[in-house]
Amino acid sequence: MSTQNVSAGWLHERLGTVVLWALLICTESAGQLFTKIAGDQLGQMDFNWQWLVEVAHNPGILAAIACYIGAFFVWMLILRRSSLSLAFPLSSLVFVVVLLGSWLGLGEHISPLHWVGVAVIIGGIALLAEGEEN
């Protein structure tokens, strides 16, 4: 087995799947948080040329776009190895990470009902994963 096959082989094993999921959740969540921060910085949305220029030069918007592009390619890799019926519900972990990022990074108040929702999402994912055949 060549060195190239060994080094690229990890991507097709369980570790590669975990890494891809971590990348997807991180890039999608970061994209949402960057969009929120940039939106707050930009203020009122008057759809005119000046506002579009500000959007195009806002570092938060540029970071969000980069995150979404990265997430798209990671999502394509995930879908090559997973069924959509499992992958799409699993992607709801982004909701959990965005909620945590909003709370820890942006200082937003999270109600007890939101925390119950997080538990429901995680419980649902656990049930789906348990029922998935290898």
pLDDT digits (tens, 9 = 90+) for 22-46: 999 999 999 999 999 998 888 777 7
Question: Cα angle vertex 122, ends 120, 124, to 5°?
Answer: 65
Under 8 Å between Cβ of 41 and 106: no
pLDDT tens across 69-110, in order? 999 999 999 999 888 888 998 899 999 999 999 999 999 999
pLDDT tens across 52-64, in order? 888 888 999 999 9
Residue 9: band (very low, low, confident or very high) from pLDDT cuts 50, 70, 90: low
**C-alpha–C-alpha distance, residues 120 and 112, integer Å:** 13
Residue 12: band (very low, low, confident or very high) from pLDDT cuts 50, 70, 90: low
Indicate the residue type of 57: H
